[in-house]
Structure 1
């Protein structure tokens, strides 16, 4: 991993940009001059994120895996921005310790070995993390609704911006070739239930922890995928 990677910048909407840094995805939501970072990529991504957004107002972590929270401590130290995470993962993020492992499907094991190659097991600790339980409304995007979506991890959350028709699913949903259930789950049955709840929303744009954002036919695609889950 490069010590100072460059970011590939992918415009999604007028308010939203996706950064791809060493293959990991970071989202920048802008309300005028106010910037919210949703997930921070792996450790080492901080300089590239700060180059794209020097002034950050808040950092929201969809869960505590190292490819999502890895640069949160760096960004908080550099900007003083508050960090928010689901209560089930927040303690691990504060301590910089590894989450309980997934319960792998047999076919996931070689995929996990490949995608995790080069990733450290843990991220640097984050000094202060605000616990989210689900049901909170954060002050960006015209009111960002926090949804508890356990399963991928105990503290996984999604963010819904109803005024913009925007949904950030974290790793509960992926868009890798097609819309699918996220992989490497601590509890697959819970993840399926969380996926179905997200599919009930009338989102116009969906952004995933892994895979390209979708900006058309979102609700129908989520519902079709949810219907295939056993």
Structure 2
């Protein structure tokens, strides 16, 4: 999967957890401001959320996911930071899909900042990102949380001061995300969701700042919904296989029959991941 990345479109409605009514550029928490990229689509929902994160008292900011290679959007991110009295000091990527990362190299040119990512191919500078890292800029603290599954290189960023987590495409503000097989793996994704649930239970995280869609103000409810959704989808796929369906496309036609067919290719990626998961666990041949 080379482009945008959101949405198991069978569930395009609002998630539980008091999602905000709309997606718009502006402050979401005391430290996080969204600049919405102009790339709406069935796969990217309203567009990519580019996050500017900074301590209120600092003049330094971190940008997470500059978004697509859109000059006007990249300059709008810089202008938004400057209007708040901030200078962009660092760029972080949640993962490498183009709707999040394609603009990163140009953004680095404009801001003269390094780009840190899990995937070495996406980095600009000497430092990457790894599990347990704490990104500290201008007094801001962001904790790196590995969340593979949507893609192998997916990360989330825990913002303890706002009791928030920036989730990229791992949890969306509306609908559910695709497991982008073969790079994405369902077993990894389920483990990542459980890791996020632990943040809500053990670390007090209440707010999801997603890569697409509105902010969610009940993080635990959203993650529990995702886990239940995945269990339900897996059961549906298993039943379809037991009923004699063999290929991923056959399963999609059965399980996603009521979904817009333009979204079936994304659904097929998730179904391939589910079939692989069932085989690995001895539940199908």
Q: Distance in 2 between matches of 1:219 and 1:206?
A: 9
- Secondary structure of the structure 2 residue equivalent to 1:160: strand
1:151 aligns with 2:149: yes
The structure with the largest helix share of the pair is 2
Instruction: Indicate conservation of the 8 Å contact 2:179/2:185, yes or no.
Output: no
CA shift, 1:42, in A, is: 0.3
- Counterpart of 1:225 in structure 2 is 226
- Which one scores higher on RCO, CA 8 angstroms, separation ≥ 6? 2
- Counterpart of 1:192 in structure 2 is 190
Provide the aligned C-alpha RMSD in A: 2.0
Give the aligned length.
Answer: 185
5+ residue gaps in structure 2? 1-23, 39-46, 232-285
Which stretch shows the higher mean deviation, 137-146 or 160-169?
137-146
TM-score (ref. length: structure 2): 0.60
TM-score (ref. length: structure 1): 0.73
1:134 aligns with 2:131: yes
- Counterpart of 2:81 in structure 1 is 53
Pick closer, same or farther for the CA change 1:83–1:221 going to 2, 3 Å.
Answer: same
Aligned 1:70-149 pairs, distance under 5 A: 70-86=102-118, 89-91=119-121, 93-94=122-123, 127-128=124-125, 130-140=127-137, 142-149=140-147
Pick closer, same or farther for the CA change 1:70–1:139 going to 2, 3 Å.
Answer: same
5+ residue gaps in structure 1? 1-7, 95-126
- Counterpart of 2:27 in structure 1 is 11
Q: Distance in 2 between matches of 1:189 and 1:211?
A: 25
CA shift, 1:73, in A, is: 1.1
CA shift, 1:155, in A, is: 1.4
- Secondary structure of the structure 2 residue equivalent to 1:50: helix
| 1:155-198: CA deviation from partner (whole Å, max 9, x where unpaired) | 11110122321101111111215xx3445352222112211211
Task: Determine which structure has more spread, i.e. the larger CA radius of gyration.
Answer: 2
